[in-house]
């Protein structure tokens, strides 16, 4: 299977960039049709099943992982580069399929979006009971008893679902959210204070889980299947597992629909049907259930009972009442408000490689990527626009740091000037990624209070470092606390590994 | 003798050529029709037995894009030969927007029903909102509408397992037909059980709007809504509005899966309900040829037996079905409001 890097989609204004691990040609034996699937990142966990699917169906599968909002935008523009779409929730397909190209969409599995809280803390806070409301959890957060991580609401389905759930809980409402509700000053105050308790915000649910495992946090809002997966790893590492908390008033269910994108190629359609049929076959459904995803309303099959571990609070018997998603215009308003004013401000330091090897195509890709992020007109299209208090810093480097440009404003002109600096920057000599990354990490710690921000270092490079400083850097990163995530995006001649 | 042999050879050659020509023309004569289709009929259009029969008998294949019955009228129609929505309203909407249709024909019928789960149906039965006659569930629409309008909570009717207020999930009434027809049913109920007309509609609209303003995001396709109902459980979709054909098709296509859910899924007939008339609209001469194929007796039989669409000749009165709680005849039916009234409802709800 071939993974394609979704570079731009992975850049988020909240400061997190995915470094997608690449592998290719796992099977290499198929000569059949290629199916290009635009997918949510939570499906990365199914890669083994997809590898097997390629072998059994003879269809080559190319997965491109993007956030839900990006997928919705891609569908709106007709998704010409894809043959199928596989989102976390059918909501994003319904909102995006303006061109009526989605066909044969069927739910592959379901999983609710829930809170996973450190077991001892959940017990201490009284969250092991049947009747926990989002409000109970929110008051624990407000009283500084609980810090949690979630994904960005504007980039990821689980984040959007959780955020909308918070709004309902704060309003004490169970009928649909309206634009009038969103205008309430009291609500705005409350949600801002709540989101200031977010420890980390990540661009996708899969990456959030990785970040959670690498760090030391109290809780995360994520898919039940990823909480299960995280718990397996936590327990294996001798760490405390998370307790699954299903609030009765603020949860949602991801239904994971896989649909065909009709561009009039019947061979692709046949290939799609083969893949979908394979994934829905009884045997493969059971394998999917084995990853902690729900496949049936009639409870878990006997052979996968142990996966849905009751001692972790996982409860498949309980009736789940998901929240009512607001109407399309209200949802879009809510997401824009998240991005522009509710979320914790971001502090993003972009370390941009201007070494000789980046000359030409690499530099062009890099400048284009920055154009999408910094020029607000472009950023807004993907709900990546800067918000109140955001800080954006550009550090250009070759073997040393070349220049540092800063914008401490969400003002479009200020950010456009930052982009102009990137565009006009001259290519230099050799490459040392380490020096630049270390510089960025120091810059954040010395000039800002990182806990006031969702901070991140984003390294854009072709990865051709002239010295092998990787080990030295890893040592520095560990000893410096390693609290600020560093994400790398590869350009130009870079190998995906 | 010689000339004769040559003659025979020539004859054979001619026959062979003619045969080849016939083979060629046979395959090139197949006309591929393309159009917009309501999601609830996708199973029927994807049915290989039906497609094969139509191709063989009428030299037609149907390709489609899915669209809501009202959405499809204003969609880009270039390159399309037909529309196949699910109501008279969509046809009249088409005629208003584009001028009189080239040809149109009612092909199938199916009543609007409610799908729910056993625990919900039982609770509603205790409240006297739902009752059973000959094993068929019927809902008193006026009582149900009152319950929804009064924002009664599920816990008020003894369902403390469910969170939120009593509601019926529908597709978007401004875009898709099943939601649109359910909105009409609600409007009629708010009008004391009489079909709303131009003189009564304005009194009903504010309450109707209030009900729908609480529902938030609505699907645009009946098939998506039905799939979510099956997949996401009673907490997510306690009651939805859909077509009777949907459960019949599901049971025919997935007998094993139906077996697992049949004790939980309950079909409730609003009393009275409305008929959804699946009406084929030809956009050009090629599109017209589709009508003949769809009203063919064999297609109509398969449409009932495998996909649950009632037709003039086929209904549950003549042909066994695997689903329980389906009446032979649906007799408690009321008229849909006129197009002008429906337009007012759509405008108010969009």
DSSP B163-192: -SB---B---TTT-HHHHHHHHHHHHHHTT
Q: Cα-atom radius of gyration of chain A, to the nearest Å?
A: 22
**Helix orientation angle between B201-213 and B177-190, rounded to the nearest 10 degrees:** 120
Given an 8 Å threshold on Cβ–Cβ distance, is B216 in contact with A249? no
* Chain B from 195 to 214: CB within 8 A of any A CB: 213-214
Question: A356 and A485 share a domain?
Answer: yes
The shortest CB-CB distance from B227 to any of A106, A174, A253 is to A106
Q: How far apart are CA B98 and CA B96, in angstroms?
A: 6
Same domain, A244 and A274: no
Angle at B48 between CA B47 and CA B53, to 5 degrees: 105
Q: How confident is chain A (497 residues) per 10-residue block, as mean pLDDT?
A: 34 33 39 90 91 95 90 94 96 90 93 96 92 89 88 90 92 88 92 83 83 89 95 95 92 94 94 96 96 89 93 93 90 90 88 89 89 89 84 92 91 92 90 85 87 85 69 66 73 51
One-character DSSP codes across B41-66: GHHHHT-HHHHHHHHHHH-EEEEEEE
pTM of the predicted structure, to 2 decimals: 0.81
Same domain (yes/no): A292, A349: no
A304 within some domain? no
pLDDT reported for residue B17 = 47
Nearest CA among A252, A306, A272, A107 for reference residue B257: A107
**CATH for B2-109+278-318 (3.40.50.300, 3.40.395.10, 3.40.190.10, 3.90.1150.10):** 3.40.190.10
Region of B77 (left: φ > 0; alpha: ψ -120 to 50; beta: rest) is alpha
Mutation target vs A (from B35, B217, B222; most A CBs, 10 A cutoff): B217
Contact A297 B233 (CB under 8 A): yes
Q: How far apart are CA A432 and CA A397, in angstroms?
A: 8
Number of domains making up chain A = 3
B260 interfacial to chain A (CB closer than 8 Å): yes
Closest A-chain CA to B45: A104
Determine contact: A317 vs chain B, CB below 8 A: no
B302 Cα to chain A: minimum distance (Å): 21
Do the chains contact at B234 and A319, CB–CB below 8 Å?
Answer: yes
Touching check for A233 and chain B: CB below 8 Å?
A: no
Query: Could you give the C-alpha distances from B208 to B31, B72, B149, B185, B270, in angstroms and in order?
Result: 45, 24, 9, 10, 17
- CB atoms closer than 10 angstroms to residue B141: 23
**Burial class of A197 by CB neighbour count within 10 A (0 to 12, 13 to 18, 19+):** middle
**Domain ranges, ordered by start, for chain B:** 2-109+278-318, 111-276+324-349
Q: Does A133 touch chain B (CB under 8 A)?
A: no
* β-strand pairing of A34-39 with A84-86: parallel
Local structure of residue B127 (DSSP, 8 states): T
Is B225 near chain A, with CB under 8 Å?
no
For residue A310, tell me if it sits in a domain.
no
> Distance (Å) from the C-alpha of residue B216 to the closest C-alpha of chain A?
4
Chain-chain contact of A319 with B228 (C-beta, under 8 angstroms): no
**Residue A93: CATH number of its domain:** 3.40.190.10
How far apart (Å, rounded) are the C-alpha atoms in residues A473 and A494?
A: 20
In this structure, are A101 and A188 located in the same domain?
no
Residue A325 with chain B: CB contacts under 8 Å: 216-217
Q: Is the peptide bond before B327 cis (omega within 30 degrees of 0)?
A: no
Same domain, A376 and A474: yes
Minimal-distance CA residue of chain A relative to B169: A324
In a domain, A311, yes or no: no
Cα distance between residue B239 and residue B234, in whole Å: 8
- Answer yes or no: do A35 and A123 share one domain: no
**What per-residue confidence (pLDDT) applies to B318?**
57
Distance between CA A116 and CA A234 in Å, rounded? 12
Contact check, Cβ <8 Å, A101/B65: yes
pLDDT in tens, B177-214: 999 999 999 999 999 999 999 999 999 999 999 999 88
C-alpha torsion sign, points B243, B248, B252, B257: positive
pLDDT for position B320: 63
A110 contacts B234? CB cut-off 8 A: no
**3 state SS of A332:** helix
Please indicate if any CB of chain A lies within 8 Å of the CB of B36.
yes
Closest CA–CA distance from residue A320 to any residue of chain B (Å): 5
Contact A328 B217 (CB under 8 A): yes
Residue A320 contacts B, CB cutoff 8 Å: yes
**Residues of B whose CB is below 8 A from A94:** 217, 219-221, 224
Best of B115, B170, B216 to mutate (most A CBs within 10 Å, chain A)? B216
Same domain (yes/no): A421, A376: yes
User: Quick check: A181 contacting B, CB < 8 Å?
Assistant: no
CA angle B182, B344, B340 (to 5 degrees): 95
Element of type H or E holding A222: strand A219-223
Q: Does B79 touch chain A if contact means CB atoms closer than 8 Å?
A: no
> What does the pLDDT read at residue B94?
95
CB of A485 within 8 A of CB of A16? yes
In the numeric block, which tokens belong to residue A158?
Answer: 């689980």
- Whether B221 and A94 lie within 8 Å, measured CB to CB: yes
Q: Count A/B contacts: CB-CB distance under 8 Å.
A: 91
Q: How far is B218 from chain A (nearest CA, A)?
A: 7
Greater confidence (B71 vs A481) lies with B71
CA atoms lying within 13 Å on the CB side of residue B85: 26
Report the distance separating Cα A255 and Cα B327, nearest Å.
Answer: 32
Shortest Cα distance, chain A CAs vs residue B15, angstroms: 35
Instruction: Give the angle A116-A120-A125 at the CA atoms, nearest 5°.
Output: 80
For β-strands A219-223 and A111-118, DSSP reports them as antiparallel
Residue B78 to chain A, least CA–CA distance (Å):
13
Residue A293 lies in a domain: yes
Q: Could you tell me if A296 lies within 8 Å of chain B, comparing CB atoms?
A: yes
Distance in Å, alpha carbon of A410 to nearest chain B alpha carbon: 31
Residue A471 pLDDT = 67
Same domain? For A231 and A120 the reply is yes
The top-scoring range by mean pLDDT among A161-175, A343-357, B6-20, B270-284 is B270-284
| Shortest Cα distance, chain B CAs vs residue A179, angstroms | 11
Tell me, yes or no, if A321 comes closer than 8 A to chain B by beta carbon.
yes
Superfamily of domain B111-276+324-349: Periplasmic binding protein-like II (3.40.190.10)
A309 part of a folded domain = no
Contact A105, A75 (CB under 8 A): no
* Residues of the domain holding A385: 345-490
- Which pLDDT score is estimated for A246? 94
Report the range of poorest mean pLDDT among A239-243, A457-461, B105-109, B136-140: A457-461
Record: contact A174-B165, CB cut-off 8 A: yes
- Regarding whether A200 and A164 lie in a shared domain, the answer is yes
Residues A484, A380: one domain?
Answer: yes
**Cβ atoms of A445 and A435 closer than 8 Å:** no
Instruction: Label residue B283 by pLDDT band (50, 70, 90).
Output: very high
Assembly ipTM: 0.78
Whether B346 and B179 have beta carbons less than 8 Å apart is answered as no
Q: Tell me, yes or no, whether A92 lies in a domain.
A: yes
Q: Where are the alpha helices (DSSP H) in chain B?
A: 2-28, 42-45, 48-58, 71-74, 88-98, 118-126, 141-149, 177-190, 201-213, 222-236, 244-253, 255-261, 285-294, 297-307, 339-349
* Pair (A265, A350) in one structural domain: no
Q: What is the pLDDT of residue A296?
A: 84
* Chain B residue with Cα closest to A90: B224
If you measure CA to CA, which chain B residue comes closest to A329?
B217
Q: Are A330 and A393 part of one and the same domain?
A: no
Same fold, B2-109+278-318 and B111-276+324-349: yes
Residue A232 structure tokens? 């397996």
Q: Is B157 on the interface with A (CB under 8 A)?
A: no
Residue B228 sits at the chain A interface (C-beta within 8 Å): yes
Q: Which of B42, B161, B221 sits opposite A319 (nearest CB)?
A: B161
Please tell me if residue A248 touches chain B, with a CB cutoff of 8 Å: yes
Q: Hey, of A174, A177, A331, which one would you mutate to test binding to chain B, going by the most B CBs within 10 A of its CB?
A: A174
Chain B residues inside the 8 Å CB shell of A107:
227-228, 231
Compute the nearest-CA separation of A298 from chain B (Å): 8
Select from A124, A72, A120 the least CA-distant residue to A98.
A72
pLDDT on residue A37: 97
Q: B13: buried, middle or exposed (CB in 10 Å: 19+, 13-18, 0-12)? A: exposed
Contact indicator for A221, A113 with CB cutoff of 8 Å: yes
pLDDT band at B18 (very low <50, low <70, confident <90, very high): very low
């Amino acid at each position: 299977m071939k993974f394609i890097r979704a570079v731009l989609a992975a850049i988020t204004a909240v400061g997190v960039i995915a470094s997608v691990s690449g592998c290719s040609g796992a099977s290499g034996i198929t000569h059949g049709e290629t199916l290009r699937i635009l997918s949510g990142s939570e499906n990365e966990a199914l890669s083994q099943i997809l590898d097997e699917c390629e072998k059994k169906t003879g269809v080559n599968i190319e997965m491109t992982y993007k956030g839900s909002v990006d997928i919705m935008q891609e569908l709106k523009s007709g998704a010409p580069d894809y043959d199928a779409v596989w989102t976390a929730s059918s909501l994003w397909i319904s909102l995006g399929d303006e061109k009526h190209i989605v066909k044969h969409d069927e739910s592959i599995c379901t999983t609710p979006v829930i809170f996973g809280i450190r077991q001892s803390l959940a017990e201490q806070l009284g969250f092991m009971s049947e009747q926990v409301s989002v409000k109970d959890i929110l008051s624990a957060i407000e009283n500084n008893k609980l810090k949690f991580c979630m994904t960005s609401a504007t980039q990821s389905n689980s984040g959007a679902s959780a955020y909308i759930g918070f709004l309902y809980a704060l309003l004490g409402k169970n009928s649909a959210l309206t634009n009038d509700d969103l205008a309430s000053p009291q609500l705005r105050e409350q949600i801002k204070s709540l989101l200031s308790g977010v420890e980390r915000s990540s661009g996708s649910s899969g990456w959030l889980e990785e970040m959670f495992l690498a760090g030391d946090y109290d809780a995360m809002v994520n898919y039940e299947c990823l909480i299960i997966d995280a718990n397996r790893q936590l327990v294996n590492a001798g760490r405390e597992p998370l307790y699954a908390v299903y609030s009765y008033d603020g949860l949602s269910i991801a239904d994971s629909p896989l649909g065909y994108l009709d561009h009039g190629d019947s061979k692709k359609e046949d290939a799609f049907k083969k893949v979908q049929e394979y994934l829905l076959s009884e045997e493969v459904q059971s394998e999917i259930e084995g990853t902690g995803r729900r496949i049936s309303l009639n409870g878990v099959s006997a052979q996968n009972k142990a996966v849905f571990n009751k001692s972790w609070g996982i409860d498949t018997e309980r009736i789940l009442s998901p929240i009512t998603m607001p109407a399309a215009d209200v949802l879009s308003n809510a997401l824009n408000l998240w991005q522009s004013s509710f979320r914790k401000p971001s502090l993003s330091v972009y370390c941009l490689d201007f070494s000789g090897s980046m000359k030409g195509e690499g530099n062009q890709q890099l400048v284009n990527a920055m154009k999408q992020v910094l020029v607000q007109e472009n950023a807004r299209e993907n709900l990546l626009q800067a918000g109140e208090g955001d800080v954006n810093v550009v550090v250009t480097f070759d073997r040393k740091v070349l220049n540092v440009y800063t914008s401490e404003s969400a003002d479009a002109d200020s950010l456009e000037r930052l982009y102009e600096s990137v565009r006009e920057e001259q290519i230099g000599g050799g490459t040392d990624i380490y020096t630049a990354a270390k510089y960025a990490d120091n810059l954040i710690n010395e000039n800002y209070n990182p806990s006031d921000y969702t901070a991140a270092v984003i390294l854009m490079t072709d990865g051709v470092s002239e010295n092998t400083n990787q080990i030295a850097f890893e040592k520095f990163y560990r000893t410096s606390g390693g609290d600020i995530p560093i994400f790398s995006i590869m350009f130009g001649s870079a190998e995906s590994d | 003798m010689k000339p004769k042999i040559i003659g025979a050879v020539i004859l054979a050659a001619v026959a062979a050529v003619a045969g080849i020509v016939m083979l060629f023309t046979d395959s090139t004569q197949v006309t591929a029709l393309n159009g917009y289709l309501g999601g609830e009929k996708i199973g029927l259009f994807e049915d290989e037995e039906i497609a094969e029969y139509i191709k063989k008998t009428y030299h037609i294949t149907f390709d489609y894009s899915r669209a809501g019955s009202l959405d499809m009228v204003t969609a880009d129609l270039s390159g399309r030969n037909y529309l196949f929505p699910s109501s008279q309203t969509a046809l009249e909407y088409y005629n208003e927007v584009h001028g009189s249709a080239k040809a149109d024909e009612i092909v199938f019928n199916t009543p609007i029903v409610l799908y729910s789960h056993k625990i919900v149906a039982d609770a509603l039965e205790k409240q006297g909102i739902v009752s059973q006659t000959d094993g068929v569930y019927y809902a008193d629409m006026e009582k149900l509408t009152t319950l929804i309008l009064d924002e009664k909570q599920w816990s008020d009717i003894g369902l403390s397992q469910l969170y939120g207020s009593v509601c019926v999930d529908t597709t978007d009434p401004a875009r898709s037909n099943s939601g649109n027809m359910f909105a009409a049913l609600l409007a009629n109920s708010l009008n004391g059980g009489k079909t709303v007309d131009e003189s009564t509609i304005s009194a009903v609209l504010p309450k109707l709007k209030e009900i729908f303003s609480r529902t938030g995001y609505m699907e645009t396709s009946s098939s998506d809504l039905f799939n979510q109902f099956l997949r996401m459980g009673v907490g997510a979709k306690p009651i939805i509005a859909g077509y009777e054909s949907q459960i019949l098709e599901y049971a025919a296509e997935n007998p094993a899966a139906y077996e697992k859910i049949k004790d939980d899924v309950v079909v409730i007939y609003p009393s009275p309900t409305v008929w959804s008339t699946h009406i084929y609209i030809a956009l050009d001469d090629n599109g017209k040829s589709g009508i003949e194929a769809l009203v063919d007796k064999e297609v109509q039989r398969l449409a009932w037996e495998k996909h649950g669409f009632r037709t003039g000749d086929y209904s549950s009165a003549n042909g066994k079905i695997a689903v329980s709680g389906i009446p032979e005849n649906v007799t408690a039916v009321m008229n849909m409001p006129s197009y002008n009234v429906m337009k007012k409802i759509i405008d108010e709800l969009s």
